[in-house]
Amino acid sequence: MEMKNGEIDLSVDLGSLKLDNPIIPASGCFGFGYGMEDYYDVNILGSISLKGTTLEPRFGNPLPRVAECEAGLINSVGLQNPGIHKVIEEELPKAAKVFKKPLIANISGFSIEEYVECCRLIDTQECIGLIELNVSCPNVHGGGMSFGTSREDVAKVIKEVKRVITKPLYVKLTPNVTDIVSIGLAAQEAGADGLVAINTMLGMRIDLKTRRPVIANIMGGFSGPAIFPVALRMVYQLSHACSIPVIGCGGISSAKDVLEMMIGGASAVEIGAANLINPYACKEIIENLPVEMEKLGITNLKELKI
């Protein structure tokens, strides 16, 4: 079946938020968007998930905090960011100058109160089209376990945040659970407008010469092509169990990966580690999408889910 690129529709819907294409750089892998315009016009992207933001400034974890793997990398950056107030005052204006579409704010917290206050503040910003809640942070009032590993904690934080915001709320789920579907359903029932799956897995490396862990914090978030099959499986499970959109994330590094993830149930995708290897990764994927779609006789991304 022969088609012209002009006939191919790359647009996707995330509820009320419409994107020109499904490609979103993942939080932590694209900063606040500005600076990347030196490589290409970032307005070709569907959106940008901004660097994870907390209430107070964070300097991050001790060095070293990145370890290479054969099919990915491990990081333990520790949510280094200038804090919500500086993000609003300094980072968002810079981002809005180079990116003219709605941005995605990634919000992290170590207590429900912190999540609520960060979301309340970022919700007032016109350039933000969607709030992405990272529930992989340890709950300092709940024994240190990640919010995202407990149905009850996930539901509680979502309900509290929803009371103070007007923008859509997507919840970024950790894969480090026994049953991600139960967490996704709890998020949906609590009022989440969508899900993002998956955040990094947990991994480590050991330096053979020193016989010590490479990363100062011993373990860190494992990302890259190696986790793609796990991410795809979880997106498939979530998208078929839940009625809200799912943004697929985890190991995507090509246009073929994007199509596979969207056939598996993703409404859009986030590209993470690939940007750290090749700053042109998202640009190349957007350019290759129509080519791969034409090969497969696909004209509309919205009709891919099986």
Residue ranges and CATH numbers for the domains of the chain are 5-303 (3.20.20.70)
Q: Note whether 176 and 166 are within 8 A (CB).
A: no
* Exposure on the CB side of residue 27, measured as CA atoms within 13 A: 32
Surface-to-core class of residue 59, CB atoms within 10 Å of its CB (0-12 exposed, 13-18 middle, 19+ buried): exposed
What confidence score (pLDDT) does residue 5 get?
Answer: 47
Q: What residues act catalytically?
A: 137
What confidence score (pLDDT) does residue 140 get?
Answer: 67
Q: Note whether 136 and 110 are within 8 A (CB).
A: no
Among residues 74, 99, 25, the alpha carbon closest in space to that of 281 is found at 25
The continuous run of DSSP H or E covering 212 comes out as strand 212-213
Tokens representing residue 243 in the block: 């009625």
What confidence score (pLDDT) does residue 52 get?
Answer: 97
What confidence score (pLDDT) does residue 55 get?
Answer: 97
What confidence score (pLDDT) does residue 3 get?
Answer: 46
User: What is the per-residue pLDDT across 192-216, written as a single tens digit (0 to 9) for each?
Assistant: 999 999 999 999 999 999 999 999 9
Low-confidence stretches of the chain (pLDDT < 70) are 1-6, 140, 143-144
